[in-house]
């Protein structure tokens, strides 16, 4: 969608993005506070999550949760909230004709919550059900266990269920007071934001009834460690092998590095004709596979994951190793790169067909480190990625020898370790040194 982005810095210390989408028929609101689990004591881990559940409930204007939700959703509007390790984000989407009413209700919920004892008790039960449901997600279970052992901030859902009993409504109120102030608030609002409407939104947000104090909480330091053994999660009810591979670089990716790694990631797993997934499916080894990029304050992560039968697991790992070797050695054709770029460009075009999709293109990065994505430059950035950039960043993701491998299932630790040993050569200094020697030889011949 065609749009114009303006960053506004408010007198109260908050700041955010106003995204004008001409003639849009809906508006979306994302209001973020750095208020996640890393800001509470480990035994109080579930405080932010419980606070998020109770906050969008009874407030000074409408003192009953169901009545508040009924009023907000009266004309088909939507609201929700999410909690993570770093942040809590409150969101709403509504028809353009009632944007001011819905924004007003959302801000009342954020600024005037009652945190009633009976609603806390009800949401306590709802969160327990949510955690129990999530614990049935085997990929999530394995991912959280791996994050813990890799040195990142995480707890499994079963641990969180046990820790919930430590949380009281007083803890929720205290965390709210500590984190919900204007300097800690960021926002992204998208829709038909004409000049006059932008002024109205700015005035509304500047007059928000939250304390004008403090600052935006800093992201935590998380420094991943190498795992010398596979993380093995025994589950006798699972017939297949669930696995994750994580490799880290000891610094954040630059934008060109991110573009190059995203491109090779797409080339390897994101289509049914990709180099890893496409090859594996052609051989009848696996139904699906995923991979992706992630960043913390201190490090960058490239991960691969799949669900595969025991009998096909070794063959799939062999394909992963083989195709990653090809990338590390520069065995990528010009045609493969150009085909992947075309796919990436098309996917980018599809990603912002709605107001919400357009806003989502900005929220993740802006809430994480305050960077405004150069949306209209993305197509050119994709086109500008070179083969050498792909090779360099792929090699860099293995050069620090920081990695981990995890398995969930009933295959046994011996088999899990066998899979890990098949992967281990990817982080071998010999492999990376050989690639460097080849590169230097090429440059020497040229000169």
What pLDDT sits at residue 432?
57
* Confidence check: pLDDT of 447 > 60: no
Whether residue 190 sits in one domain with residue 292: no
Q: What is the pLDDT of residues 272-291, one digit of tens each?
A: 999 999 999 999 999 999 99
Q: What is the pLDDT of residues 160-173, one digit of tens each?
A: 999 999 999 999 99
Q: Which range marks the domain in which residue 202 is found?
A: 4-206
Whether residue 286 sits in one domain with residue 175: no
Domain boundary (170, 191, 206) is at: 206
Domain annotation covers residue 49? yes
Query: Which residue's entry shows tokens 């609101």?
Result: 29
Whether residue 197 sits in one domain with residue 242: no
Distance separating alpha carbons of residues 49 and 43, to the nearest angstrom: 13
> What CATH number is associated with residue 335?
3.30.830.10
Whether residue 254 sits in one domain with residue 202: no
Please say whether the beta carbons of 19 and 366 come within 8 A: no
Distances (CA, A) of 60 to 107, 115, 154, 155: 12, 10, 34, 34
* CA angle, 256 then 257 then 263, to 5°: 90
Whether residue 146 sits in one domain with residue 30: yes
Distance separating alpha carbons of residues 5 and 20, to the nearest angstrom: 6
Output the average pLDDT for the chain.
94
**Signed CA dihedral, 178, 183, 188, 191: sign only:** positive
Ranges of beta strands (E only) in 34-173 are 78-83, 88-95
Whether residue 235 sits in one domain with residue 195: no
Query: Which residue's entry shows tokens 């398995």?
Result: 407
Structure tokens, 110: 């954020």
Domain annotation covers residue 222? no
Whether residue 308 sits in one domain with residue 244: yes
Domain boundary (206, 223, 243) is at: 206
Give mean pLDDT, residues 21-27: 97
Whether residue 23 sits in one domain with residue 86: yes
Indicate the number of domains in the chain: 2
* CA angle, 198 then 202 then 207, to 5°: 155
pTM summary value:
0.92
Distance separating alpha carbons of residues 264 and 341, to the nearest angstrom: 10
The neighbour count for residue 77, using CB atoms within 10 Å, is: 21
What pLDDT sits at residue 446?
45
What pLDDT sits at residue 295?
95
User: Residue 160: which of 40, 35, 42, 33 has the closest Cα?
Assistant: 42
Domain annotation covers residue 177? yes
Whether residue 171 sits in one domain with residue 263: no
Domain annotation covers residue 357? yes
Distance separating alpha carbons of residues 200 and 20, to the nearest angstrom: 14
Q: What is the pLDDT of residues 333-359, one digit of tens each?
A: 999 999 999 999 999 988 888 999 999
Domain annotation covers residue 376? yes
Domain boundary (173, 206, 239) is at: 206
What pLDDT sits at residue 274?
95
Q: Which has more confidence, 434 or 25? A: 25
Whether residue 74 sits in one domain with residue 108: yes
DSSP state of 113: B
Domain annotation covers residue 212? no
Domain annotation covers residue 154? yes
Domain annotation covers residue 352? yes
Query: Which residue's entry shows tokens 């820790």?
Result: 163
Whether residue 259 sits in one domain with residue 306: yes
Whether residue 201 sits in one domain with residue 83: yes
């Amino acid at each position: 969608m065609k749009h114009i982005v303006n960053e506004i810095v408010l007198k109260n210390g908050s700041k955010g993005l106003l995204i004008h989408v001409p003639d849009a028929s809906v508006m979306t609101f994302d209001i973020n506070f750095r208020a996640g689990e890393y800001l509470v004591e480990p035994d109080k881990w579930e405080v932010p999550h419980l606070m998020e559940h109770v906050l969008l409930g009874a407030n000074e204007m409408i003192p009953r949760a169901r009545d508040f939700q009924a009023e907000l959703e009266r004309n088909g509007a939507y609201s929700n909230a999410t909690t993570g390790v770093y942040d809590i984000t409150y969101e709403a989407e509504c028809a353009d004709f009632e944007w001011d009413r819905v924004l007003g209700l959302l801000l009342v919920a954020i600024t005037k919550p009652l945190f009633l004892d009976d609603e806390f008790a009800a949401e306590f039960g709802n969160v327990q059900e949510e955690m129990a449901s999530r614990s049935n997600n085997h990929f999530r279970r394995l991912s959280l266990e791996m994050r813990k052992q890799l040195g990142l901030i995480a707890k499994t859902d079963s641990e969180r269920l046990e820790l919930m009993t430590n949380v009281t409504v007083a803890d929720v109120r205290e965390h709210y007071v500590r984190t919900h102030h204007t300097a800690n608030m960021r926002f992204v609002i998208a829709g038909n934001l004409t000049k006059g409407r932008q002024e109205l939104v700015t005035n509304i947000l500047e007059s928000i009834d939250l304390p004008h104090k403090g600052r935006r909480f800093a992201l935590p330091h998380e420094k991943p460690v190498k795992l010398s053994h596979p993380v093995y999660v025994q589950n006798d009810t699972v017939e297949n092998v669930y696995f994750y591979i994580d490799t880290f670089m000891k610094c954040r990716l630059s934008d060109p590095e991110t573009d190059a790694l995203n491109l090779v990631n797409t080339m390897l797993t994101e289509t049914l004709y990709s180099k890893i997934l496409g090859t594996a499916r052609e051989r009848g080894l696996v139904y699906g596979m995923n991979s992706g990029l992630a960043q913390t304050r201190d490090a960058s992560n490239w991960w691969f994951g799949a669900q595969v039968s025991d009998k096909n697991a070794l063959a799939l790992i062999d394909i992963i190793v083989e195709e990653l070797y090809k990338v590390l050695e520069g065995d990528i054709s010009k045609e493969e790169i150009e085909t992947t770029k075309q796919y990436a460009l098309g996917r980018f075009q599809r990603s912002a067909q709605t107001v919400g999709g357009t806003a989502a293109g900005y929220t993740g990065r802006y809430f994480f480190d305050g960077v405004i994505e150069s949306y209209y430059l993305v197509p050119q950035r994709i086109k500008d990625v070179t083969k050498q950039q792909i090779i360099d960043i792929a090699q860099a993701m293995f050069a620090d020898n920081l990695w981990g491998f995890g398995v969930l299932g009933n295959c046994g630790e011996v088999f899990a370790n066998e899979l890990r040993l098949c992967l281990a050569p990817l982080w071998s200094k010999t492999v990376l040194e050989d690639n460097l020697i080849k590169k230097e030889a090429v440059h020497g011949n040229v000169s």
